[in-house]
Structure 1
Amino acid sequence: MPGLDLLATFLEVYRTGSLSAAAERLGVSQPAVTGQLARLEEQLSTRLFVRSRRGAEPTERAVALAAEVGLHVDGLRSALGPRDVEPAVRGLVRIGGAAELMTVRVLPALARLVAQGLQLRTTLGLGDELLAALAAGHLDLVVSSVRPRQDVVVATPLVDEEFLLVGPPALAHTVDPVRLAADPVAALAHLPLVAYAEDLPIVRRYWRSEFGRRPPNTTALVVPDLRAVLAAVAAGAGVSVLPRYLVASALDAGQVVELHHPEAPPLNTLYLAGRRGVPHGPAVAAVRARVTEAAAEWGSL
């Protein structure tokens, strides 16, 4: 059974997305973190992270392991460590955001606060719906891909999402690189699309930004979850446009490839929104601070 130190190191890498950031938080050297992570992977006989220049992307096994052991390891560290290292966080915070980003980035970043006593209630959904719930007082904070327009909502830029056009290797081989450079819309037109919604919100934005028009492609599959979109693309159902944070592991593993390489990748700013003029207690302040801190560690998504 893996020891507490190995699991604690694993959780720091998982939450920060970086071996160097985990080493800094733990107060050890990066080689020490690398060695502990290697021992844990050897004990579990599985790979937990895909390393790249962008950091350490968790595998599916790592996501499952973090969910299984996170609260228990944090609780043990709190019980065995100095009592004044991590003060208790009391109160209930209601936070909303897109299912994919909350699952992969935001909730893992907030797990430590939950271990310190914070009560967290999460609502998953679309930006406009969540901002309306925030304005109505049903939520305390929202991580939104939509810039708020309501007067009662105030938002600060949090992090930029970077979008990539990706497809399975088998379909990528059918794209003529010469034609792609000369007429990308025509070169890509035969590829079926996998989309988040019928109106192709993310795909359409990419085509208009990069190619100046809507995609003429056939929409083969629509599923309202970007993780399912990625799974369908990797399985060969078609191509799609997805945020880098979601596809990084699949790219590194060769399950999908980038079909188009723009000089400046399309970006979408995410915002951390709250209600204007509403005094927040220490629990909401702690969540806001932790999400902001984590976003700085992520860099661009």
Structure 2
Amino acid sequence: MDLALLRTFVAVHRAGSFTRAAALLGLSQPAVTSQIRSLERQIGRPLFHRRARGVTPTAVGDELAHKAAPHLDALLQIAETEREAAGHSRTLHVAGPPEFLCLRVLPALAPLVGQGQTLRTSLVADAEDCLEGLAAGHHDLVVTTARPRGGLFTATALCDEEHVLVAAPYWAALVDPGVLRGKGPAALDGIPVVEVHESLPLVSRYWNAVFDTRPTAAATVVVPDLRAVLECVGAGAGFAVLPRYLCQDALADGRVVALLEPQVPPLRTWFLAVRTGSLALAHLGRAHDRLLRAAALW
């Protein structure tokens, strides 16, 4: 059986689409369709059900993928080892939200750059945009708070991020934590809200987890970068909900104050996502392992 046909088959099986697999393989869609038909003729059975949007594997297709994919990944790993031994390295393409990428991911990957790894980054705030770019082959690895679904991606939990309700000392002096626990968000009436989006994603998550309600006030300041949100809050613009990793220094030096310390703080999980099978690529596997080790200390 032709290995090139099997490689194309596994790519389609993981991608769930001839079009997406073609982009990842650097082939035209007609070429991918032709290769799958050729493989189906060799096997004598259909491997995919053609749907309006993409394809789904038949039972025979699932069985073949289960048998073939690990061997193809192993061959890829051997080829990559030989490639690196010959002095040819690949550029690592990483994407994720700007704050987490800048403050967590890039510092953790910096030692690899010192070892000769080249690195390119894409600052992408929207999780779905990140995953679409990963699926299309624009990125090798993404960090995201949206757990990817489907066979195209492999996701690994990286760390949990604690959220904190903060304000500048001036505003914090006006809020009694006991009243805030008892009255809930009503105790914050009159204090401006600073957020990254009009939909109040972080405030809404916190309100739901801690107060079992939804925010009623609109944002006064909207700025699409959590680092800018922190600076606005520290300067007295109002209150915000921020990841603890981002505001821990400001909390320590008193620039901002935690308005409440709930017994169970709201958490958000970060994931490392790659295309299934791509961890066989040596440069990607190294980066993946390094981030997991670094995250144990976050």
What is the TM-score when the length of structure 2 is the normalising length?
A: 0.68
Q: Deviations over 1:43-86 (max 9, x none)?
A: xxxxxxxxxxxxxxxxxxxxxxxxxxxxxxxxxxxxxxxxxxxx
Q: Is the counterpart of residue 115 in structure 1 residue 114 in structure 2?
A: yes
1:68 aligned residue: none
* Matched-pair contact (CA < 8 Å) for 1:140–1:275: yes
Query: What amino acid maps onto 1:252 in structure 2?
Result: A
Query: Once the 2 structures are TM-superposed, how far is the Cα of residue 154 of structure 1 from its aligned partner?
Result: 1.3
> Distance in 1 between the 2:202 and 2:256 partners?
18
Query: What amino acid maps onto 1:228 in structure 2?
Result: A
- Residues 293 and 173 of structure 1: is their aligned pair in 2 closer, same or farther, counting only changes over 3 Å? same
Query: Once the 2 structures are TM-superposed, how far is the Cα of residue 215 of structure 1 from its aligned partner?
Result: 1.6
> Distance in 1 between the 2:189 and 2:218 partners?
8
Query: What amino acid maps onto 1:273 in structure 2?
Result: A
> Distance in 1 between the 2:279 and 2:252 partners?
44
* Matched-pair contact (CA < 8 Å) for 1:190–1:217: no
Aligned length: 211
> Distance in 1 between the 2:148 and 2:218 partners?
33
Greater Rg, structure 1 or structure 2?
A: 2
State the Cα RMSD in Å. Answer: 1.5
1:272 aligned residue: 272
What is the TM-score when the length of structure 1 is the normalising length?
A: 0.67
1:176 aligned residue: 176
Query: Once the 2 structures are TM-superposed, how far is the Cα of residue 178 of structure 1 from its aligned partner?
Result: 4.0
Within 5 A, what are the aligned runs for 1:157-168?
157-168=157-168
* Matched-pair contact (CA < 8 Å) for 2:210–2:262: yes
* Matched-pair contact (CA < 8 Å) for 2:278–2:284: no
Query: Once the 2 structures are TM-superposed, how far is the Cα of residue 138 of structure 1 from its aligned partner?
Result: 1.2
1:242 aligned residue: 242
* Matched-pair contact (CA < 8 Å) for 2:184–2:211: yes
Q: Deviations over 1:226-272 (max 9, x none)?
A: 00000000000010000000000000000000001110111001001
User: Please, which runs of 5 or more residues in structure 1 have no aligned partner?
Assistant: 1-87
> Distance in 2 between the 1:133 and 1:121 partners?
14
2:142 aligned residue: 142
Structure 1 residue matching 2:120: 3-state secondary structure: strand
Q: Deviations over 1:134-174 (max 9, x none)?
A: 11111111111111124311101010000000000100111
Q: Is the counterpart of residue 254 in structure 1 residue 232 in structure 2?
A: no
1:227 aligned residue: 227
2:97 aligned residue: 98
> Distance in 1 between the 2:173 and 2:181 partners?
15
> Distance in 1 between the 2:240 and 2:279 partners?
42
Query: What amino acid maps onto 2:283 in structure 1?
Result: A
- Residues 105 and 278 of structure 1: is their aligned pair in 2 closer, same or farther, counting only changes over 3 Å? closer
Within 5 A, what are the aligned runs for 1:1-301?
90-125=89-124, 126-278=126-278, 280-298=280-298
- Residues 260 and 120 of structure 1: is their aligned pair in 2 closer, same or farther, counting only changes over 3 Å? same
* Matched-pair contact (CA < 8 Å) for 2:144–2:271: yes
- Residues 186 and 290 of structure 1: is their aligned pair in 2 closer, same or farther, counting only changes over 3 Å? same
- Residues 260 and 177 of structure 1: is their aligned pair in 2 closer, same or farther, counting only changes over 3 Å? closer
User: Please, which runs of 5 or more residues in structure 2 have no aligned partner?
Assistant: 1-86
